């Protein structure tokens, strides 16, 4: 047997994977070779040291932090992945490209055709802003507005972030996701609008901002009573 | 009363029971956090990875194949998230340079706490691929088969990688008298 094969036998012995024949083979080698014995002893001590490493108790707030970051409606997860539209346009000041992918799904009705999900970039004529929330400086800055126009309700994002931002939009049993928002440009340098098909039964829209899958902020938009 | 198994909890969650997912979090937050901590060696990063791991699991729960073990699936997410974070950090060569300066010298007597420190230093100087197999085998005590499922590698490759990782660690710890 080669040195490599004997070395593999030593590792397999540490893992308790040798049969009787292999144990005999290794024993003969160890008797005849002090270097092999030294290697085996060192590997055994190493593995004992590794195995004795104690688990660390996670921070006590980890569980609540995970659960607080979950989207509000787990049943939507059962639905087929939503249809999507993609928008791209150049930012006015910074020349930054922003692409948004919007998906929508509901657990009470089939998802709408992708044509219903078209964003309304720049189409602001006849638009009434119902509520605006400003995001202070942080991982995501800027503002988000809830509006209504001839096509229905929608959200307008004017965000700046150091990395692409996902936004989960939850309202009245609907879940919508906008991806690849935020560009690194200054707030307001680029904006993206998305339609909210089916919106109307609820007075509030909850937003969760995610970066790399991690929740970095939340906001709620409210429809005024007169609307 | 017997606790529901993972498959039952996943099914309940997909039927709209968010408390079922909370039970999965309670069951796996510790190993997921520890796996990330051992790969990244940074508690704040491990906390972030644990959170993003469960969030991704939740979002993609409908794609989970119950014929596989749930813990293999969620550990795979955790390991991939950890490796992504490592890749976004400064280059390994820079880490190697800094860690090499911190490592105990060959003439230094290393016992007890010092042996553990030497081990942690040696672990952090491993490539991410080698460190990952050590974490899965010795810290999470997984079988070769489970490791293969998590890393999407054949068992033969898992063994080969594990043996290499141990050899590198042995060489480094032997050089400073820690084993």
Q: How far apart are CA A21 and CA A190, in angstroms?
A: 71
Hey, are the CB atoms on B50 and A39 less than 8 Å from each other?
no
Q: How far apart are CA A14 and CA A36, in angstroms?
A: 14
Hey, are the CB atoms on A49 and B119 less than 8 Å from each other?
yes
Give the residue on A whose Cα is nearest the Cα of B13.
A74
Nearest to B179 among A42, A58, A59 (CB): A42
Q: How far apart are CA A158 and CA A189, in angstroms?
A: 7
- As a whole-number percent, the residues of chain A with pLDDT over 70 amount to 64
Residues from chain A that touch B44, judged by Cβ atoms under 8 A, are: none
Q: What are the start-end ranges of the E strands in chain A?
A: 85-90, 97-106, 128-135, 140-149, 152-161, 165-171, 174-181, 192-195, 204-211, 214-222
Predicted confidence (pLDDT) per residue in B126-175, tens digit: 999 999 999 999 999 999 999 999 999 999 999 999 999 999 999 999 99
What is the bridge-based pairing of β-strands A85-90 and A97-106? antiparallel
Residues from chain A that touch B60, judged by Cβ atoms under 8 A, are: 77
Q: Which domains does chain B have, with CATH numbers?
A: 1-89 (1.10.1740.10), 91-179 (1.10.10.10)
Residues in CB range of A213: below 8 A, 6 or more apart: B52, B55, B56, B81
Give the residue on B whose Cα is nearest the Cα of A211.
B52
Query: Sheet of A204-211: strands edge to edge?
Result: A85-90, A97-106, A174-181, A165-171, A204-211, A214-222
Q: Residues 41-80, chain B: which have Cβ within 8 Å of A? A: 43, 46-48, 50-52, 54-56, 58-62
pLDDT category at B97 given cuts 50, 70, 90 is very low
Residues from chain B that touch A39, judged by Cβ atoms under 8 A, are: 170
| Residue B106 sits at the chain A interface (C-beta within 8 Å) | no
Q: ipTM score here?
A: 0.83
**H or E element, residue B100:** helix B92-102
Hey, are the CB atoms on A46 and B166 less than 8 Å from each other?
yes
Q: How far apart are CA A138 and CA A158, in angstroms?
A: 14
**Residue extents of the structural domains in chain A:** 3-51, 66-222
pLDDT given at position A75: 45
Nearest to A213 among B17, B25, B52 (CB): B52
Which range (A39-48, A186-195, A205-214, B17-26) has the least confidence? A186-195
Average pLDDT over residues A39-59: 94
Which range (A175-189, B56-70, B82-96, B117-131) has the least confidence? A175-189
Hey, are the CB atoms on A62 and B51 less than 8 Å from each other?
yes
| Residue B83 sits at the chain A interface (C-beta within 8 Å) | no
Hey, are the CB atoms on A46 and B17 less than 8 Å from each other?
no
Hey, are the CB atoms on B33 and A74 less than 8 Å from each other?
no
Q: Which of A192, A194, A211, A177 is nearest to A90 (CA)?
A: A192
């Amino acid at each position: 047997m080669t040195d490599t094969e004997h070395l593999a036998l030593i590792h397999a012995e540490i893992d308790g994977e040798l049969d009787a024949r292999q144990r005999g083979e290794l024993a003969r080698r160890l008797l005849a070779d002090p270097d092999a014995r030294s290697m085996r002893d060192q590997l055994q001590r190493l593995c004992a040291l590794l195995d004795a490493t104690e688990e660390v108790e996670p921070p006590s707030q980890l569980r609540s932090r995970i659960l607080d970051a979950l989207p509000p409606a787990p049943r939507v997860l059962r639905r087929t992945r939503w249809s999507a539209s993609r928008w791209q346009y150049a930012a006015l000041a910074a020349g930054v490209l922003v692409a948004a992918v919007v998906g929508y799904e509901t657990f009470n009705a089939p998802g709408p055709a992708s044509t219903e999900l078209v964003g309304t970039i720049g189409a602001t004529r006849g638009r009434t802003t119902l509520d605006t929330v400003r995001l202070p400086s942080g991982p995501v800055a800027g503002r988000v507005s809830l509006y209504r126009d001839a096509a229905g309700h929608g959200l307008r994002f004017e965000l700046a972030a150091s990395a692409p931002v996902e936004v989960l939009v939850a309202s009245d049993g609907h879940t919508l996701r906008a991806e690849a928002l935020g560009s690194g440009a200054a707030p307001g340098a680029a904006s993206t609008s998305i339609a909210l098909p089916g919106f109307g039964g609820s007075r509030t829209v909850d937003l969760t901002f995610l970066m790399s899958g991690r929740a970095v902020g939340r906001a709620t938009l409210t429809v005024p009573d007169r609307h | 009363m017997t606790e529901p198994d993972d498959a039952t909890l996943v099914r309940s969650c997909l039927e709209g029971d968010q408390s079922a997912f909370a039970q999965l979090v309670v069951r796996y937050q510790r190993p997921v956090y520890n796996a990330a901590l051992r790969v990244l060696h940074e508690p704040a990063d491990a906390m972030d990875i644990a959170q993003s791991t469960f969030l991704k699991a939740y979002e993609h729960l409908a794609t989970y194949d119950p014929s596989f073990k749930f813990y293999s699936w969620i550990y795979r997410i955790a390991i991939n998230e950890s490796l992504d974070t490592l890749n976004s950090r400064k280059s390994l060569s820079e880490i190697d340079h800094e860690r090499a300066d911190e490592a105990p010298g060959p003439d230094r007597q290393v016992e007890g706490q010092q042996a553990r420190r030497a081990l942690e230093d040696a672990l952090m100087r491993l490539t991410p691929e080698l460190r990952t197999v050590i974490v899965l085998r010795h810290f999470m005590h997984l079988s070769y088969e489970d490791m293969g499922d998590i890393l999407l590698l054949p068992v033969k490759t898992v063994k080969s990688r594990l043996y290499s990782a141990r050899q590198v660690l042995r060489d480094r710890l032997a050089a400073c008298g820690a084993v």
